[in-house]
Amino acid sequence: VNVHDLPTPSLLVDLAAFEHNVATMAEAHPGPALRPHVKAFKSTALARRLVEAGHRGFCCATVREMEGMAAAGLGDDLLLANEVVGPAATRLGTLARSGTARVTAAVDSAATMEAAADSGVTEVLVDVCVGLPRCGCPPEEAASLADLARSRGLEVRGVMGYEGHLMREQPAEDKAAKVEQAMALLVEAHEAVGGDVVSAGGTGTYDCNRWATEIQAGSYVLMDTEYVPHAPAFRNALILWTTVISVYQPAGWAVLDGGLKCLGMDHGNPTVEGGQCFVVSDEHITYFPDGDRPAVGDRVRVVPAHVDPTVALHERMYVVDGEAVVDTWEVDLRNW
C-alpha cells in the first residue's frame, strides 16, 4: 500500500525516525537500564519492537495497559507507575494473581498500599515525590510506608520518583543540577526503603539522570514538536496524515481533514509541513500554505505538539518507509 492510498486523518510512524530513536536510547540505556513507558504509545505491536531492542521490562500508566501487555505475552516485568484504589486495584490484583505477568505497583500512601495487598498484588515500589506536584509520598515517609508494606507481606522492590517538572528545564547545566537535587531525595529514600530498584527519569532527563537504575522514558520513541528542543537526539517519528478538503481562494487559506479529535492540544497547535497553522477546530486545521496553494485532494503531513494524547485518539498507526506502508500497529492499549 502506498501512503497516498491511506484514508485520512490517520497516524503515520516514520520507520527510519522510529528506528533511530529506539537505537539511540538503547545505546544510552541498554536492556534493563530502560523501562519504556507504554503510556506514550499504547501499542503492543510497538512494544514488541522495544523487546527486540533489548528492553523486557515496561511501565504503564493504566491497568488496561498492564492487562493488554500481559495478554500479548509482554508481561516479564510490568510496573504500574501510578496509584490505584477501588475497582482499578481489584483489576490489578486479578492480573497479578493470574500469573500471566510479573506485576509491580507504585504505592505512595497507606491506602494505596493496603489496596494493593488486599487485591493480591505482591510486589510494590514506594513512589516518592521529588518535586513534581503529582503522586508520590513525602521522602521522609518512604521508610515507614515500606515497613507497613512488608508487615502486610508485600515485597518492596525499591523506589520510584519522577522528576517530570525538570524535563523542560533550560539550559542543560541547570537541568543536570536540578535533577541531581531531585534524585538526592530519591537516593536517600532508597537507602531507607531498600530493594534493588530506583526507577525514575524520562525522555527529557535520560542523558543526565545517573542515579536511577532504570529510566522510565516513553516519549522518545515517537517524539513531538514540543519535546525536540529538550531531547534533540531524537526525531519526530509521528505524523498526522491529512487531506486538503477546501481551499478558500480569496484569502488563501486551506483546510485539512484532521483537527482536535485527532491531536493532543494541551501543548498548543501542531506544525503543518509546508504552511503555517492558523486555527485547529474539532475536525479541521485551517492553515496558510507557504508556497503555491495546494489543490483539494492533496495530502499534507502534520506533526503533533504532544504525542501521548494524540496516540490515545487513534485506533492504529501506519508504519511508513518513504511512501510504502510497511506495517500497521494497532493502538490496542487505549481507553481504561
The residues that touch a copy of itself, with contacts defined as CB under 8 A, are: 5-10, 39, 61-62, 82-88, 108-109, 111-112, 129, 133-138, 164, 243, 245-251, 253, 255, 257, 260-262, 264-266, 278-284, 286, 295-297, 306, 308-309, 312-315, 334-336
The nearer residue to a copy of itself, 135 or 215, going by C-beta atoms, is 135
The least CB distance from residue 16 to a copy of itself, in Å, is 26
Give 201's Cβ-side CA count (13 Å radius).
28
The least CB distance from residue 99 to a copy of itself, in Å, is 23
The least CB distance from residue 302 to a copy of itself, in Å, is 15
Question: Is the Cβ–Cβ distance between 69 and 47 less than 8 Å?
Answer: yes
The nearer residue to a copy of itself, 159 or 255, going by C-beta atoms, is 255
The least CB distance from residue 248 to a copy of itself, in Å, is 6
335: exposed, middle or buried (C-beta count within 10 Å: 0-12, 13-18, 19+)?
exposed
The least CB distance from residue 4 to a copy of itself, in Å, is 9
Secondary structure (3-state) at 51? helix
CA distance 181 to 199: 16
The nearer residue to a copy of itself, 57 or 139, going by C-beta atoms, is 139
The nearer residue to a copy of itself, 147 or 315, going by C-beta atoms, is 315
The least CB distance from residue 304 to a copy of itself, in Å, is 13
The least CB distance from residue 1 to a copy of itself, in Å, is 12
The nearer residue to a copy of itself, 192 or 240, going by C-beta atoms, is 240
The nearer residue to a copy of itself, 63 or 70, going by C-beta atoms, is 63
In one-letter notation, the amino acid at residue 34 is L
Match 511512501 to its residue by C-alpha cell. 323
Residues whose CB falls within 8 Å of the CB of residue 123, separated by 6 or more in sequence, listed in order: 102, 103, 104, 105, 154, 155, 156, 157
Question: Is the Cβ–Cβ distance between 258 and 330 less than 8 Å?
Answer: no
Match 493504566 to its residue by C-alpha cell. 62
The least CB distance from residue 210 to a copy of itself, in Å, is 25
Least Cα distance to 285 among 271, 298, 295 occurs for 271
Question: Is the Cβ–Cβ distance between 45 and 330 less than 8 Å?
Answer: yes
Match 513525602 to its residue by C-alpha cell. 138
The nearer residue to a copy of itself, 108 or 214, going by C-beta atoms, is 108
In one-letter notation, the amino acid at residue 173 is E
- Contacts of 51-56 with C-beta under 8 Å, sequence gap 24+, read 53/22, 53/23, 53/26, 54/26, 54/30, 55/26, 55/31, 56/31, 56/32
The nearer residue to a copy of itself, 26 or 128, going by C-beta atoms, is 128
